[in-house]
């Protein structure tokens, strides 16, 4: 072998070595240019959601074997990657622990990589200017602050403190109804007059990003609360009807818009102590968002595909809540019903409240002990299920 061939082989080896070293270095610093190009639109929810999606996608798809890690570091990174993948999957089933894990990671990404600080956080949600806050913004802050003291009883405490579960008349209705309006949320927010720290503000932003990315949109925090249930898409005008009317009767469509008739995607109801209460201040925004929630909320334990052929699914969530989802063409619009059965808290003394209840409770106890057949009847939402559990 002459000296020329030896030199050529040496050059080839050097080039290969440099190429491999470059690839390892590039992969090791996988945190893709975490420098964010700052402009007027940088600190918006849409941009931040896009950033979070991209970063979490990079973290879960990175090939750890190409980075050149030590055995101990490789094992540690593999465990973290597996834990994140598991959490991203579990949080869509209603697992509050997985949800907490994902939210903490989003918090770190925004504070350490995206550059959110005390100066620019109010560009995302105008915390410092209450008049610019939407009803949903104010409600998110209310829930966040009340959760500090009451945990998953936060919504119950707000409703009880401000008597929001009472019948009331609203414009355009001839009969009183159970509804919570945006005006009531505005009044409550003004009375509470919260002093929010930077951490509080960022946690509210993180929750908003999470619920639009992996959560259940506007009902994400509500679903976790200790209430009887929550549903969406069960009232209002469906998009298919509005599209049909737009082609034939523009006058009717204009009148409906002026009268602010709720659409199906504006329909959010909660079951609270046997009452069906409409949350008029919340909305999914679009039919596409309502559809996304319906497609995700029932998928715990893989019950099968919700399709046009099989237009409904009955399942349970990870916390034991029962969920029913329907879709067109079986129904007029996408809709879901989540019922939560809090058996430990459901006592006869709590449920039966009319005068002379003591005698009724005693009678029910003896009927159950005697293994008698009992028929429980009543309208929807009158707590028939909770009565049954209470008797047990």
Q: Which of 300, 316, 340 is the last residue of a domain?
A: 340
Question: In this structure, are residues 140 and 281 in contact, taking their beta carbons and an 8 Å threshold?
Answer: no
| Structural domain contains residue 28 | no
Q: Total domain count for the chain?
A: 3
Q: 368 lies in which domain range?
A: 346-391
**Residues 317 and 363 occupy one common structural domain:** no
Find the mean pLDDT for residues 127-133: 92
| Structural domain contains residue 55 | yes
**Residues 281 and 332 occupy one common structural domain:** yes
| Structural domain contains residue 286 | yes
**Residues 216 and 240 occupy one common structural domain:** yes
**Residues 313 and 374 occupy one common structural domain:** no
pLDDT 10s digits, 191-235: 999 999 999 999 999 999 999 999 999 999 999 999 989 999 998
Q: Which of 89, 115, 141 is the last residue of a domain?
A: 115
Give the integer Cα–Cα distance in Å for 143 and 325: 26
Please say if the pLDDT value at position 187 is more than 70: yes
**Residues 366 and 329 occupy one common structural domain:** no
The H or E element spanning position 6 is helix 3-28
Name the residue with tokens 């002093």: 195
Name the residue with tokens 């869509």: 92
Find the mean pLDDT for residues 309-317: 92
Question: In this structure, are residues 364 and 376 in contact, taking their beta carbons and an 8 Å threshold?
Answer: no
**Residues 178 and 293 occupy one common structural domain:** yes
**Most trustworthy range by pLDDT among 147-151, 247-251, 369-373:** 147-151
Q: To 10 degrees, the CA torsion angle through 369, 370, 372, 376?
A: -30
| Structural domain contains residue 220 | yes
CB atoms < 10 A from the CB of 287, how many?
Answer: 18
| Structural domain contains residue 257 | yes
Give the integer Cα–Cα distance in Å for 186 and 284: 19
pTM to 2 decimal places: 0.78
Q: How confident is the model at residue 259 (pLDDT cuts 50, 70, 90)?
A: low
**Residues 335 and 351 occupy one common structural domain:** no
**Residues 67 and 110 occupy one common structural domain:** yes
Q: What is the pLDDT of residue 388?
A: 45
Burial 307-328 (b: 16+ CB within 10 A, else e): eeeeeebebbbbeebebbbbbe
Q: In CATH, what number is assigned to the domain containing residue 153?
A: 3.30.450.90
Question: In this structure, are residues 356 and 323 in contact, taking their beta carbons and an 8 Å threshold?
Answer: no
| Structural domain contains residue 1 | no
**Residues 368 and 257 occupy one common structural domain:** no
């Amino acid at each position: 072998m002459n000296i020329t061939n030896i030199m050529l082989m040496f050059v080839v080896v050097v080039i290969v070595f440099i190429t491999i070293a470059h690839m390892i270095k590039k992969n090791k610093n996988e945190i893709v240019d975490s420098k964010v190009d700052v402009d007027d639109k940088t600190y918006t929810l849409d941009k931040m959601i896009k950033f979070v999606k991209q970063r979490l996608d990079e973290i879960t798809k990175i090939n750890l074997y190409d980075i050149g890690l030590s055995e101990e570091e490789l094992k540690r990174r593999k465990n973290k990657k597996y834990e994140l993948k598991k959490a991203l999957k579990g949080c869509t089933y209603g697992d509050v622990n997985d949800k907490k894990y994902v939210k903490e990671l989003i918090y770190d990404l925004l504070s350490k990589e995206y550059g959110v600080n005390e100066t620019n956080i109010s560009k995302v949600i105008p915390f410092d200017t209450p008049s610019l806050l939407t009803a949903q913004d104010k409600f998110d802050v209310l829930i966040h602050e009340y959760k500090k003291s009451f945990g998953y009883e936060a919504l119950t405490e707000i409703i009880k403190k401000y008597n929001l579960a009472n019948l009331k008349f609203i414009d355009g209705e001839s009969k009183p109804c159970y509804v919570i309006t945006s005006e009531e949320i505005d009044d409550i927010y003004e009375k509470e007059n919260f002093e929010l720290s930077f951490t509080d503000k960022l946690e509210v932003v993180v929750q908003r990003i999470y619920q639009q990315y992996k959560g259940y949109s506007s009902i994400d925090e509500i679903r976790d609360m200790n209430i009887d249930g929550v549903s969406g898409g069960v009232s209002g005008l469906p998009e298919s009807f509005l599209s049909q009317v737009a082609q034939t009767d523009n006058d009717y469509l204009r009148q409906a818009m002026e009268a602010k008739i709720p659409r199906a995607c504006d329909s959010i109801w909660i079951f609270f102590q046997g009452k069906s209460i409409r949350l008029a201040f919340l909305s999914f925004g679009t039919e596409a968002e309502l559809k996304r929630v319906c497609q995700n909320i029932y998928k715990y334990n893989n019950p099968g595909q919700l399709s046009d052929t099989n237009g409904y699914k009955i399942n349970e969530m990870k916390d034991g809540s029962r969920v029913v989802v329907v879709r067109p063409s079986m129904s007029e619009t996408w809709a879901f019903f989540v019922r939560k059965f809090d058996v430990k808290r459901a006592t006869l003394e709590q449920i039966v409240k009319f005068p002379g209840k003591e005698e009724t409770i005693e009678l029910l106890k003896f009927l159950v002990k005697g293994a008698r057949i009992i028929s429980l009847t009543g309208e929807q939402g009158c707590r028939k299920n909770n009565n049954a559990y209470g008797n047990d």
